A and B are shown apart, each in its own frame.
Chain A
Amino acid sequence: MSRGERSMVPEPEFSSYYGRPILKEPTWKTPDVPLYLFAGGLAGASAVLAEGAALTGRPGLERVARLAASGGATAGTVFLVHDLGRPERFLNMLRVFKPTSPLSVGSFVLAPFSSLSALAAVSVVTGRLRGPGRLAGLGAAALGPPLATYTAALVANTAIPAWHEAHRELPFAFGGSGAAAAGGLGMLLAPAAETGPATRMALLGGALELAATQRIDGLGLVAEPYREGPPGRLMRTARSLTLAGAALTVAGAKWRPLRRLAGAAYLAGSLTMRFGVFEAGLASARDPKYVVVPQRERMERRAKMGV
């Protein structure tokens, strides 16, 4: 719903304790966590792009993507550690492995990915250790798609209605967004003769991101924070940027300035979407409506079914 428009759906009536929130607002900090979500997506998809470039003999694109994979993973790790209440204890993340905790699983993806992508990047930049560098790059490419998508499980495996109820769509939104960002960066920085795969990856990723966020919008009351208020504005801006990237790509990706502009639009769209999803979750935790109304409806449905 755009600004100024009034909802035709009446505000649902519900009881609360002095209007106070039922859930605790996540203590995750902004911009740390949205930036971490963005960096993970960019890094993961870049590792895939880099390996493809290496296999098909595109050294310029390989170099850009390897640096993006390693840089994104390093930046992501910094954001993640900085967000901890006790940063000096970040290694405690690796003292147990718990498949019930996406953050635990993610740590065990991020840690090897960071090392492998760093080795591959150093090898590409220095020209040394080419063999181990290629092997490391292959490993990073295998861990890339999980790195780009596990962050959706991280936010969805919570009680926050806007995140949890979108758990089927968010992984595709995040994966697509990561691919759009990785492709966008390739379009922006790779040599002209080698940008073809980056352009296609950005277009396909952007389409996946748009399709998934469109579906999230249709989830009813729990998705209201994605449509209204400041997070709604972020989500609309993200969509416009990604659409602009796609339109510019289709219009004339062969012309360098336009291609670069398209790449930048994809990157900005991906980044803005992460902030939108993060803020929508916070908004959804603040208002008891998003907890009480859907739970009451669920109870009524159950009562009707006679369970």
Chain B
Amino acid sequence: MSLFSEGRLWGRLDDVQHDAGYDEHPPRMGFFTDTSVCIGCKACEVACKEWNEIPENGYLLTGMSYDNTGALGASTWRHVAFVEKPLTGQETDLGMPGLGPPAGESQAAESGDAGIQWLMSSDVCKHCTHAACLDVCPTGALFRTEFGTVVVQPDVCNGCGYCVPACPYGVIDVRKEDGRAFKCTLCYDRLKEGQQPACAQACPTESIQFGEVSELRLRAANRLQELKDQGVDAAQLYGADPDDGVGGDGAFFLLLDEPEVYGLPPDPIVTTRDLGSIWKHVGGAAAAVAALGVASFLGRRR
């Protein structure tokens, strides 16, 4: 099978570890982040920072609701987004546990923030089936683990920064004061010890669920159906489809609005899908330069 054919650099790929060279391996592990039960506590952000010893990256207030983190980056591997949406008057019980009168309670805030529905979502590296960051890395610092996750080896990375514009989700970044690229490792160190990632363990509502990707996909489909049955029409899965533009994400989501509302690309396609075409056009252009060179020496002798 050619490197540039479907399944290698894009499209459906059912055994990502085998493709990466693991003959025997544990099941592919990942996250299902169910944003319908996220309460925006940011325990995931804190647990991630603590466990992975990530340096602070500013204490500025952004003015973006309760989000003072801003975005994923070299020193932010979990990021909770807060979206304030005007209420439509058709709120649905999402099955959240609560202390007050149970009937008709929703994520809508009471008192001061009346009239606003909060969407909260804990974003993370997607650990793509076809990971552009990994494929463009010229040093081999980024690699596929036996769990099917994508991890940077800091002792190999030389800070070329190619992974940064390659990521269709804008996840990985270079830490300026360090010079190297960093992102979520899906707590590779904890996985090897049979532990779950720090963010999933810290999540109090099980919005972040860790497990085998195949099982999480079923769980996500069931949860989506449950919400649809309750009339939550806006609910949708994001990154759970193994036939999507990146071959499906190892970390996928249940969203309550369109992806771009949360700062996610609506239809990402891994750049390497076009790599065959890119090299073909480079070849054509190189031939053109050679031909142009020959042509320059034809004709008049001067």
Interface of A toward B, CB cutoff 8 Å: 14-18, 20-28, 44-45, 48-49, 51-52, 55-56, 83-87, 89-90, 92-93, 95-96, 98-104, 107, 141, 144-146, 148-150, 152-154, 156-160, 163-164, 167-168, 170-172, 174-176, 178-179, 183, 193-198, 200-201, 204-205, 208, 281, 285, 288, 291-292, 295-296, 298-299
The residues in B between 1 and 60 inclusive whose CB is less than 8 angstroms from any CB of A are 3, 9
Which residues of chain B have C-beta atoms less than 8 A from A18's C-beta?
Answer: 62, 64, 263
Which residues of chain A have C-beta atoms less than 8 A from B165's C-beta?
Answer: 23-26, 28, 158-160, 163, 281, 285
**Dominant secondary structure of chain A at its interface with chain B:** helix
The answer to the question of B156 belonging to the interface, with a C-beta cut-off of 8 Å to chain A, is yes
Q: A24-B164, A167-B277, A295-B268 are in contact. Are A85 and B284 (CB under 8 A)?
A: no
Complex Cα spacing A208 to B260, Å? 38
Assess whether A86 is in contact with B284, with CB atoms less than 8 Å apart.
no
Across the interface, A103 reaches (CB within 8 A) one of B138, B277, B293, B300, namely B138
Binds A, one of B96-104, B110-118, B129-137, B212-220: B129-137
Complex Cα spacing A84 to B178, Å? 11
Across the interface, B302 reaches (CB within 8 A) one of A95, A152, A196, namely A196
Complex Cα spacing A103 to B158, Å? 13
Complex Cα spacing A153 to B278, Å? 6
The 7 A-B residue pairs whose C-beta atoms are closest, nearest first, are: A85-B159, A85-B179, A17-B263, A171-B285, A89-B158, A48-B293, A196-B302
Residue from B135, B157, B267, B292 whose CB has the most chain A CB atoms within 10 Å? B292
Binds A, one of B168-176, B184-192, B198-206, B248-256: B168-176
Assess whether B260 is in contact with A23, with CB atoms less than 8 Å apart.
no
Interface size class of B (residues with CB under 8 A): 35 or more
Assess whether B286 is in contact with A22, with CB atoms less than 8 Å apart.
no
- Write the chain A residue with the least CB distance to B294: A52
Assess whether A98 is in contact with B265, with CB atoms less than 8 Å apart.
no
A52 to chain B, nearest CB (A): 4
Which residues of chain A have C-beta atoms less than 8 A from B284's C-beta?
Answer: 171-172
Across the interface, A167 reaches (CB within 8 A) one of B138, B141, B265, B281, namely B281
Assess whether B271 is in contact with A22, with CB atoms less than 8 Å apart.
no
B187 to chain A, nearest CB (A): 22
Complex Cα spacing A126 to B160, Å? 36
Assess whether A172 is in contact with B160, with CB atoms less than 8 Å apart.
no
Q: Besides A92-B141, A149-B289, 19 other CB < 8 A contacts?
A: A25-B165, A49-B296, A52-B294, A85-B178, A85-B180, A86-B157, A96-B138, A102-B278, A103-B160, A148-B289, A157-B275, A158-B136, A159-B132, A168-B277, A172-B288, A175-B286, A176-B292, A179-B293, A285-B165
